[in-house]
């Protein structure tokens, strides 16, 4: 009861602080200037009223298309949405979950994981300016460089070319649920001189510089520079995020060609923030222990995750005539870093006591390269129109790693969920050298796509032929060829309504189990085909866009189970498929003159099928809730200020365990965020002041992780303040 009263009191204080912030800003502005001068903001015709979502998005090799013409669920978030709901000290998934198909599975910046329609994803699955595989489980594009995020929750595997199949903890599964493409900021016709300060958590301070200029005849050349310096403590005591980076975007737009070059350097370190847990094989309870206080710290002195490196993308398109053009997309990234933590997750028993945990050290390095060349054009055969594209691409990656899991000083890592971790005293971190080569992968693909339009109907036909060569330097290697078909049909009875159907197929790559902690280290698992079907309806009217869809997805069911061998505590298993069937409702735009909404609802029925001897056919999929939803609202009484609120709901889920029922429940939870933003002027300088409070009620809760037996723990209430100056 006392805890609930405290939560209510803090919620009221958040609201009072938000209102006080607005009143103070208003009073200061009136004292300086009286009435505000009109501020002209550069807009775009393809952005829905309210400014959070665009009406166009990238359709793979076919380029940008109207969302109404894309035969699957598509949501393109704007930079405004990222600024309104995001905190640069938190994972990007904190913004992505405004899409109802996406649920975050971690609140710690030590990871980037989230799920899309129940399937786990992370930074590996993000594209940057149409280029895949430049990020990984610890990194995503930093929020301050983002102009838009195209989120495809639908069957589009055959239109995007080839990507790397390695994706961190997914063990090489190529996910079927969709893709996320981030487009970086370009210079606008209006010069940009922007300086932003943020303050978050217990002392995390960030500074951001954004400068943009166009020059030359008809402003044909542009340059945009974005830089960040951040350091300091998070809302979790003892955890901190330190980040510095600089990125430059140069572009040219001529009469017959466009070119964009994006390049930069990044350096990211997260000290502390361990938030992942798991259950031992002996776990016998059907429920989890109560979620501990989110302020509890489970790190030893020296827990860290660090990466630094650089990346670049190049996009070019040249018109050959009025109907045909060729294009090129290229990218490169190189990173290196290390981590020292209590393994990927901390095990606890039914009483919350830590059992069987080991210390982990890892040094790693990776580099990825990508090139795509293509030709696209438009043809007409009578009343039938064709939008064609043909491309070839090559994706290459190499990975170095040296890691070691062991008991520090030969002792167990003790403690419990409620009192914290007990790490052996007087332990000195070892220095065991740089990583050694682990694997190399080369993918070569050929993609062909055609959108055939006739009257009110259009059909998408696409296929990608992928040749994969995976060479493991520590175990077995393999090659495989597969074809990824995609097709879809769209019918628009009226211009603002579309009925659609889409289908795609994709493959997980063959997996070589790697790691001394596996009983089946070196075992090879064959590639598994996955299919996805979706049909739905889209409707756009009076400033709102709504999508209602039904989908059916399957994927390989690969996961770790606990073994009885202390020297090899895990076994990787490949047991049939997971099947995801669901209904998704997405709503974006203006509800009324002063109200903007974003979010939706997801129903997801996830079960296993084709398991060994049918033993687990019909079982739940680990960590997947049947129901979930999100609703973000912004109220703007006038052009100067706005009040923001967001509610996120996740129904209960289950993970496999040693209990009498074979499962343990993850309880449902609801969280609330709220904030305020205010536009004013200091002398002649436009200023935007913002305040946000995440997890307003300071709720402690467990989070499921799509198709995984690990669980996440919430972060405590987090305050964030920012001031943006357009100099």
Query: pLDDT at position 518, please?
Result: 82
pTM: 0.91
For residue 680, what are its two tokens? 């004013």
How confident is the model at residue 521, as a pLDDT?
79
CA atoms within 13 A on the CB side of 237: 6
User: Left if phi > 0, otherwise alpha if psi is -120 to 50, otherwise beta: which for 256?
Assistant: alpha
Integer-rounded Cα Rg, in Å, for the chain is: 25
Tens-place pLDDT, residues 164-183:
665 554 444 455 688 899 99
* Joined tokens for residue 152: 């495809």
Supply the CATH classification number for the domain 2-726. Answer: 2.40.170.20
Q: Compute the distance between CA of residue 76 and CA of residue 678 in angstroms, rounded to an integer.
A: 25
Task: Give residue 173's pLDDT.
Answer: 45
Task: Tell me whether strands 595-609 and 568-592 are parallel, antiparallel or unpaired.
Answer: antiparallel
Q: Where are the domains of the chain?
A: 2-726
- Which neighbouring-strand residues pair with 307? 268, 337
User: Distance between CA atoms of 589 and 336, rounded to whole angstroms?
Assistant: 41
HSE-CB at 407 with a 13 A cutoff on CA atoms is 12
User: How far apart (Å, rounded) are the C-alpha atoms in residues 644 and 98?
Assistant: 13
CB contact set of 561 (below 8 Å; sequence gap of 6+) = 281, 570, 571, 573
Q: How far is CA 115 from CA 57, 63, 93, in A?
A: 21, 26, 9
Of residues 578, 552, 456, 602, the one with CA closest to residue 155: 552
Please give the torsion angle defined by the CA atoms of residues 227, 233, 235 and 237, in that order, rounded to the nearest 10 degrees: 160
Positions in the chain short of pLDDT 50? 1-43, 169-173
pLDDT the model gives residue 460: 97
Q: How far apart are CA 22 and CA 410, in angstroms?
A: 56
């Amino acid at each position: 009861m006392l805890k609930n009263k405290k939560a209510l009191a803090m919620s009221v204080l958040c609201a009072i602080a938000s209102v006080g912030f607005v009143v103070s800003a208003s009073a200061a502005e009136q004292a300086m200037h009286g009435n505000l001068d009109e501020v002209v903001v550069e807009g775009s015709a393809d952005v829905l009223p309210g400014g959070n979502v665009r009406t166009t998005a990238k359709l793979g090799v076919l380029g940008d298309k109207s969302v109404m013409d894309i035969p699957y669920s598509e949501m393109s978030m704007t930079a405004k949405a990222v600024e309104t709901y995001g905190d640069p000290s938190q994972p990007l998934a904190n913004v992505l979950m405004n899409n109802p198909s996406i649920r975050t599975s971690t609140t710690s910046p030590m990871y980037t994981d989230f799920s899309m329609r129940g399937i786990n994803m992370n930074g590996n699955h993000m594209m940057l300016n149409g280029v895949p595989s430049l990020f990984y489980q610890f990194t995503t594009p930093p929020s301050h460089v983002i102009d838009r995020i195209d989120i495809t929750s639908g069957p589009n595997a055959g239109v995007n070319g080839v990507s790397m199949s390695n994706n961190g903890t997914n063990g090489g599964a190529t996910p079927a649920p969709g893709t996320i493409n981030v487009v970086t900021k370009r210079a606008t016709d209006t010069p940009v001189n922007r300086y932003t300060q943020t303050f978050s958590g217990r002392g995390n301070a960030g500074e951001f510089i954004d400068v943009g200029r166009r020059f030359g005849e008809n402003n044909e050349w542009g340059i945009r520079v974005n830089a960040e310096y951040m350091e300091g403590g998070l809302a979790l005591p003892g955890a901190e995020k330190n980040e510095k980076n600089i990125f430059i975007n140069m572009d040219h737009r001529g009469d017959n060609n466009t070119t964009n070059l994006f390049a930069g350097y990044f350096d990211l370190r997260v000290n502390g923030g361990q938030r992942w847990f798991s259950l031992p094989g002996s776990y016998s309870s059907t429920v989890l222990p109560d979620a501990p206080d989110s302020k509890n710290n489970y790190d030893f002195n020296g827990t860290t995750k660090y990466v630094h490196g650089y990346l670049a993308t190049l996009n070019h398109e040249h018109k050959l005539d009025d109907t045909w053009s060729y294009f090129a997309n290229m990218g490169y990234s190189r990173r290196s870093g290390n981590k020292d933590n209590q393994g990927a997750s901390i095990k606890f028993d039914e009483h919350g006591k830590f059992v069987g945990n080991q210390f982990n050290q890892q040094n790693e390095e990776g580099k990825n390269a990508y090139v795509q060349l293509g030709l696209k054009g438009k043809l007409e055969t009578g009343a039938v129109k064709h939008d064609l594209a043909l491309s070839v691409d090559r994706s290459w990656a190499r990975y170095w790693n040296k890691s070691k899991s062991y008991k520090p000083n030969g002792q167990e890592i003790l403690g419990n969920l409620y009192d914290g971790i007990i790490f052996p005293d007087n332990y000195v971190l070892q220095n065991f050298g740089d990583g050694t080569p682990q694997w190399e992968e080369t993918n070569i693909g050929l993609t062909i796509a055609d959108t055939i339009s006739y009257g009110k109907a259009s059909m998408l036909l696409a296929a990608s032929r992928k040749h994969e060569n995976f060479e493991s330097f520590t175990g077995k290697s393999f090659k495989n060829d597969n074809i990824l078909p995609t097709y879809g049909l769209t019918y628009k009875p009226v211009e603002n309504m579309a009925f659609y159907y889409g289908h795609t197929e994709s493959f997980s790559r063959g997996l070589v189990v790697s790691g001394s902690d596996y009983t089946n280290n070196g075992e090879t698992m064959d590639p598994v085909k996955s299919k996805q079907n979706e049909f739905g309806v889209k409707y756009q009217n009076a400033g709102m866009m709504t999508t209602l869809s039904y989908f059916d997805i399957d994927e390989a069911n690969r996961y770790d189970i606990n073994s009885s061998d202390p020297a090899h505590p895990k076994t990787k298993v490949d047991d049939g498929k997971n099947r995801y069937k669901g209904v998704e409702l997405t709503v974006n735009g203006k509800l009324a003159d002063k109200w903007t909404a974003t979010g939706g609802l997801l129903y997801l029925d996830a079960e296993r099928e084709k398991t060994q001897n049918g033993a687990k056919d019909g079982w739940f999929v680990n960590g997947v809730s049947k129901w979930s939803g999100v609703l973000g609202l912004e109220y703007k009484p006038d052009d100067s200020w706005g009040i923001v609120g967001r509610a996120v709901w996740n129904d209960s889920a289950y993970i496999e365990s040693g209990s009498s029922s074979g499962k343990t429940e993850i309880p449902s939870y609801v969280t609330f965020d709220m904030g305020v933003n205010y536009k004013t002027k200091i002398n002649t300088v436009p200023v935007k002041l913002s305040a946000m409070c995440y997890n307003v009620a300071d709720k402690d809760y467990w989070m499921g992780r799509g198709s995984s037996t690990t669980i996440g723990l919430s972060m405590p209430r987090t305050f964030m303040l920012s001031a943006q100056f357009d100099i």
